Chain A
Amino acid sequence: MSFSDLLLQQTINGLSLGAMYSLLALGFTLVYGILELINFAHFNVFMVGSFIGMWTLQLLGINGQAVVMTGLPLIGVMLLALLVTMVLSGALGVVIERLSLRPLRNVKGPAAMITTIGVSYVLFNIILLTVGADSKNYPNPLPPVQWAIGDAVLRLREVLIWAIAVLLMVALHFFVQRSRMGKAMRATAQDPEAARMMGVEVDRIIIIAFFLGSALAGAGGLIFGLYYNFTSFIIGFTAGLRAFTAAVLGGIGNVPGAMLGGVIIGLIEAMGGQFIATAWTDVIIFSILVLVLVFRPAGLLGRVAPNKS
């Protein structure tokens, strides 16, 4: 394997990871942008999302990697699985907001954040106790298509991950920047009080932020399963922590920042594994985070947070 092929292969690996981290980071950023709340339940909404995706695919008759589909049925199954996963994960986010966070809306201090940690553990243990601790083989109808670029290999599932991630991110970007609802969201993010006075229903905006963030986490979970052919109750923490780092790195509250942060973390992970050692991945990622925050406390693209003055 030549050095350039190796570099290309690690870039492909890193971008795939980055796509997943970005989807997950968007959820942190959306909620933070509006509530200034770090939502740790997000870690495990992602994990539950991957299980919802798994069950949906299994209901569609796909078991392990034995069933391979192509063409229209494949697209249909994928879209259906993605839709169901996103809607149900989004609904889960809304339920979490409604049951555990809204009652704390006006409580000052870290109470809400601590609550999200609690909710995270509740989700984690529900899955652990109901589906068990063993890793699950993920149903995957994708054909094992791949293309060789020199010695590097680009697989269909990588292309698919990028496509889904980019589509969702572009859709989110347009939603936030162009739609009426998006405008209301940005208004709430800037100044919730003023937005309320202008007739924006802040509660509704918060629900939408939770729905969108959780739906994206669900999509991330489904993609995770399809990419690694496995899921387990424990996947939320490592992925969630790195995605959270991505959000902070890019500038928390900042939608393009979350995407950029995710891609950077993914690439660091891949290149670090190649040129340093896999064992050092976390050290490298978090050292870079510390360095960035020391020199640019607001993250690479600057942070967007509600004006609480």
Chain B
Amino acid sequence: MINHPITRRTAVGLAAGVAVVAAAFIQPVRAADKSVTVGLDLSLTGADAESAKRVEYGAMMAFDEANTKGGVNGYKIVVTPYDDGSATAGQYDPAQAATNARKMVSDKATVAAIGPQMSGAGKAMAPILSEGDLATITPSSTNPDITDPKFAAQYRPEGKAIYFRTVATDAFQGPYMANYYADVLHVKTVYILDDSGAYGVGLADAFQGQAEKKGIKVIGRDRLDPKAADYSAVLTKIKSLAPEAIYYGGVLQAGVKLAKQAYDIVPKMIKGGGDGVQGPEMLSAVGYPANEGWYATVASPHVTEDAKMAEWVKTYKDKYHVDPDDYAVTAYDAATVILAAIGQVTAGGKAPTRDAVRDAIQAVKVSTLQGPVAFDANGDLQDKTISVFQIKQDKSLPPDDMRQYHYIGVAPSA
């Protein structure tokens, strides 16, 4: 066996050979394969993972459809997913969300984003996205502060709206539900709880303000630690104060435990929350009958049961094997808006830039699954609808089917 020492020349030759072989396998970037990147930030780790999946599928469905049609004006849409949930937080983690926002902003190919799912993440991301001039459309984060011009210096220091929503905000979700408590359920006394998160506190505050205006007596307000397991102390206190109803502002990490223990301690009391308690885990992890009777709202029109949506729902189910919820629809709508904006920007053969895509989103008027979508100057949806649901087990449906949330109607706006 001849043992050649590897000289510098042979090494260069070898490297060149490897490069040639590798190049043969890697698809060269041809001019026709133009693409743009859209970021997708959701809370895929933690208590809201189930809901996050449905939102993700909604957005992916719209992008996949566009790509199978050949993309938008020849541009393929590449989706870069980000997860802002962390194992230590057990749910969305604002620190992780900020990191994700920085990654999105520093990726030059990213022209727009969808997300985040959670308001706590949104508050961390918005200022970074503003500095990077990157528009995002959230399908489900409802905390009003982020788009409120009062807090513009904090959440959009660069001035322009970059945080758009295909849902209404808690400035409507909380108060409209207070109207529902007062006018429809005739509640006179309420105890309010929140989960100490950005979304939960904001929602509970908004509910409380309107409830007091409506003459509902707020007997108490308390804050749950979402990582604690035991809420029996506060529930026993509530039992002793005997309000007619509980309103909970928060997401499912505390919500699941609250629902279970509330059923043990105050089974007859009226209980409700916002879109944070509208999720599959409320059905599967809480279980019947503990979850029955809970009211939940969604900050968008309820369309998944519309006859004209049947085909869309079926396509979604066939593809992803779960039922879409309303935020799967708003995610699809958010993707529709982004596709329309990219389409408009690239119509004249121009390459899409973040700035142009943002302006196109701002000016968009597009018909989506939930109806026509247009934004005001702050990025909020012009049409504000809050839908009310109540969990009532229908034994003919699977226990974790989202239709176990029976649609009651639209919450009163005054």
Which residues of A are in contact with B by a Cβ distance under 8 Å? 1, 6, 9-10, 13-14, 16-17, 64-65, 124-125, 128, 132-137, 153, 155, 224, 228-230, 232-235, 237-239, 269-274, 277-279, 281-282
Contact = CB atoms under 8 A, between A and B. Distances in A.
Contacts, number: 120
Given A10-B236, A228-B257, A234 B281 contact: no
B239 interface: yes
Contact of A279 (B222, B252, B257): B222
Nearest to B240: A1
A227 to B, nearest CB: 9
Contact of A228 (B223, B224, B230, B237): B230
B285 A134 contact: yes
B413 interface: no
A277 B196 CA distance: 13
A308 to B, nearest CB: 33
Contact of B234 (A137, A230, A278): A278
Interface string B93-132: 0000000000000000000000000000000000000000
A65 B232 CA distance: 19
B230 A269 contact: yes
A285 to B, nearest CB: 11
Contacts of B229: 224, 228, 235, 238-239
Given A1-B240, A137-B286, A137-B287, A238 B227 contact: yes
B240 A134 contact: no
Contacts of A277: 222-223
Interface of B: 45-47, 49-50, 85, 87, 90, 196, 222-225, 227-234, 236-237, 239-240, 242, 252-253, 256-257, 260-261, 264-265, 281, 284-287, 290
Contacts of A229: 260, 287, 290
A224 B284 CA distance: 19
Contacts of A271: 233
Contacts of A281: 225, 228, 233
Contacts of B222: 277-279
A136 B285 CA distance: 5
Given A134-B50, A238-B227, A278-B225, A128 B233 contact: no
Contact of A269 (B90, B233, B264): B233
Contacts of B230: 13, 17, 228, 269
A271 B232 CA distance: 11
B87 A13 contact: no
Given A17-B230, A133-B49, A279 B239 contact: no
Contact of B284 (A128, A134, A234): A134
Contacts of B265: 153
Contacts of B49: 132-134
B93 to A, nearest CB: 12
A133 B45 contact: yes
Contacts of A238: 225, 227-229
B264 A155 contact: yes
Given A155-B264, A238-B229, A281-B228, 14 more contacts: A13-B233, A13-B236, A64-B287, A124-B87, A134-B47, A135-B252, A228-B261, A230-B260, A235-B229, A238-B225, A269-B230, A273-B232, A278-B233, A281-B233
Nearest to B221: A277
A135 B223 contact: no
A270 B234 CA distance: 8
A37 B71 CA distance: 60
Given A137-B287, A228-B260, A279 B281 contact: no
B261 A274 contact: no
B259 to A, nearest CB: 10
Contacts of A10: 233, 236
Contacts of A282: 225
Indicate the member of A17, A124, A125, A273 with the most B CB atoms within 10 Å.
Answer: A273
Contacts of A239: 229
17 contacts: A1-B240, A6-B237, A10-B233, A10-B236, A17-B230, A64-B287, A133-B49, A135-B256, A137-B287, A155-B264, A229-B260, A235-B229, A238-B227, A269-B233, A278-B224, A278-B225, A278-B234
A132 B281 CA distance: 12
Contacts of B286: 137, 230
Closest A-B pairs by Cβ, 5 of them: A273-B233, A279-B223, A234-B90, A1-B240, A135-B285
Given A234-B227, A274-B233, A1 B285 contact: no
Nearest to A63: B287
Contacts of B253: 135, 234
A10 B121 CA distance: 36
Contacts of A232: 47, 90
A133 B47 contact: yes
A17 B232 CA distance: 10
B94 to A, nearest CB: 17
Contacts of A228: 229-230, 257, 260-261
B45 A128 contact: yes
B292 to A, nearest CB: 13
